[in-house]
Amino acid sequence: MLISKKDLLKETEISYGQLYRWKREGLIPENWFIKQSSFTGQETFFPKVKMLNRIQAIQQLKDKYSLEELARILSPEVTERLFTPSDLKIIEELNDDLMPFICTALDRENFRFIELLIMLAISNCRKEYELKINDIKNICFGIKNHLDAVKHTDYLFTLMKMDNQYYAAIQSEQSEVYIDQRLTLVCQIHLNELSAMVKLKYRKKFNFQFEADDEGPFKTFSRKAVMA
């Protein structure tokens, strides 16, 4: 779903100048500014959920971090750190009872950051849609051979369903995917939003090298775009 620039500025109560300053500083990706023809010529639109999440994040954090630090925090680049099973126990959003099954199904002992995000997406889906252990195993087996090809966080984790069976896809946010109409689209989760949540909430635990603060974890980025 898209939102026009006019409606975005009205809903978020930010100025035109703020919006384009944040773009210049790298806080908002250039490819989120989508030009479309209108009766007045051209109008700018944005992916609504991502923009509202991003602006909320900037507004909440801009007094604690410089714009340069914020750009680094919100950027989609993937940390090179490998996560061990002991590390995974620190991540509260991961279902403890699921981890042995996920580790076995993915056939890995240590996990890249992107794989951690995918496990978080699966855990979110399990909680939200009450997936069974067998559903989780099947999803993991279905995607495990594609994980090495995913090099950054600018992807969507897509959950689909047909005849009480769940299926998953990992797709670039920039690509258009036309799903077999026999499948029901359950939800889509933005990995870059999960990335920002993890980097902010667990920056002290995993030494992500961001400035510390004294307040509690910031959780805005765990929001999912649920589609019927």
pLDDT of residue 197 exceeding 80: yes
**Distance of alpha carbon 51 from the chain centroid:** 12
Query: Does pLDDT of 99 surpass 50?
Result: yes
Q: Residue 35 corresponds to which tokens in the numbers above?
A: 């030009």
Task: Answer positive or negative: Cα dihedral of 42, 46, 52, 53.
Answer: negative
Look at residue 81 and tell me whether its pLDDT is greater than 60. Answer: yes
Whether this prediction's pTM lies above 0.75 is answered by no
In the predicted structure, residue 224 carries a pLDDT above the cut 50 = no
Residue 215 pLDDT greater than 60, yes or no? no
The distance in angstroms from the start CA to the end CA of the chain is 13
- Residues 169 and 142: their CA atoms lie apart, in Å, by 9
d(CA 70, CA 91): 22
Mean pLDDT of the chain: 82
pLDDT tops 60 at residue 10: yes
- The amino acid sitting at 160 is M
Give, to the nearest 10 degrees, the angle between helix 191-201 and helix 67-74. 120
Domain ranges of the chain: 2-74, 90-226
Find out if CATH 1.10.1660 is the number for domain 2-74: yes
Please give the pLDDT value at position 93. 92
| Alpha-carbon separation of residue 96 from 40, 88, 103, 133, 205 (angstroms) | 54, 9, 11, 12, 18
Residue in the structure block whose two tokens are 């036309």: 178
Report d(CA 70, CA 78) in Å as an integer.
Answer: 16
Q: In this structure, what token pair is assigned to residue 32?
A: 């989120």
**Strand pairing report for 165-172 and 184-190:** unpaired
| 103-142 pLDDT tens trace | 888 888 889 899 999 999 999 999 999 999 999 999 999 9
Q: How many angstroms separate the CA atoms of 111 and 86, rounded?
A: 11
